[in-house]
Homo-oligomer: A and B are copies of this chain.
Amino acid sequence: MDERVPRDFETLRTTILERRHSLPKRIAQIAAYALDNPDDIAFGTAASIAASAGVQPSTLIRFAQQLGFDGFTSLQLVFRERLRERNSSYDERLAALRAKAEEGAGHRAIFDGFVAAASTSLNDISGRLNEDHFEDAIALLAKAETIYVLAKRRSYPVASYIAYALGKLKIRNQLIESAAGLNAEMISFASPRDAVIAISFSPYAPAAIEEARVISEQGVPIVAITDSSFSPLAQFAKVWFEVAEADFAGFRSLSATMALAMALTVAVGEKRRDEGRKRKA
């Protein structure tokens, strides 16, 4: 292999863009395809890539050779390396933020720590959400007459947001608060035609668990957001989501829970609208 073969993706990219106009038609075609679909180059076979790009496999090899590689395989390595490095760079960035926060230089570090925790949590839930459970929860909530929202202490802000959003979407809902001490009565109105969104994380607020138990015994289906399958909430729930929030300075993030709550709420709103339309038609 030549001495000045592009070893990293960025150099390769630049090289391709420079030579773009002096390349033969088919080679230019595969060059454009490569820059547009780098992932395909990284994972595909010569044949599959050639087919997607509308050229012959041999053209792909000629392209690689023009750039100084000794074949398609060596070119592909650069595209693969890119995926490896890019991937770690994000994690590294987060780790840096977190490290800066942990070495504890002043108040800025506190802020960085919370941003890092929130990002981590979002990142995590994004890959973890079980789509089937999500659909089940939406279906369950969409057909409820009234949606009860149950959460105490740290989770209460999420509940209050859900209540706000449901209100904006004109979906009947009832936040189970403790202010007036009338929770027991409020709960007794719930029927199996209603549904509950319950949120609680370890250490589980006893009141939340107790209310969830009572309401589930009345036959009201519960959608739970909690932190593990050992959660007492999980056993009362028809559907439950596991959300692992990162923490900083002993305060856990709420970002993932919040995102899930927003998505649930809006999805329920959308499903109701769709079904309302169907019923009319």
Measured CB to CB, the residues of A under 8 A from B are: 9-10, 39, 43, 80, 82-90, 92-93, 97, 107-108, 110-115, 117-119, 122-123, 125-129, 131, 134-135, 138, 153-154, 156-158, 160-161, 164-165, 179, 248-249, 251, 253-255, 258-260, 262-263, 266-267, 270-271
Contacts and interface: CB of A to CB of B under 8 A. Distances in A.
A43 B156 CA distance: 45
Contacts of A126: 97, 112, 115
Main secondary structure of the interface of A (DSSP, over half): helix
Contacts of A107: 134-135, 138, 263, 267, 270-271
B158 A164 contact: no
A127 B86 contact: yes
A263 B110 contact: yes
Contacts of A262: 114, 248, 251, 253
A154 to B, nearest CB: 6
Contact of A127 (B10, B263, B266): B10
A108 B134 contact: yes
Nearest to A156: B160
Contacts of A259: 111, 114-115, 117-118, 253, 255
A106 to B, nearest CB: 8
A100 to B, nearest CB: 11
A41 B132 CA distance: 27
Contact of A263 (B111, B135, B160): B111
B83 A88 contact: yes
Contacts of A251: 165, 262, 266
A9 B127 contact: yes
12 contacts: A89-B89, A90-B90, A107-B134, A107-B138, A110-B270, A111-B260, A114-B262, A119-B122, A153-B164, A248-B262, A249-B266, A255-B258
Contacts of A114: 259-260, 262-263, 266
Contacts of A87: 39, 83, 86, 88
A161 B108 CA distance: 20
Interface centre among A126, A165, A271 (most CB of B within 10 A): A126
A258 B161 contact: no
Contact of A83 (B83, B134, B249, B263): B83
A249 B266 CA distance: 8
Given A107-B135, A179-B179, A161 B254 contact: yes
A97 B129 CA distance: 14
Interface centre among A122, A157, A160 (most CB of B within 10 A): A157
Contacts of A179: 179
Contacts of A85: 127
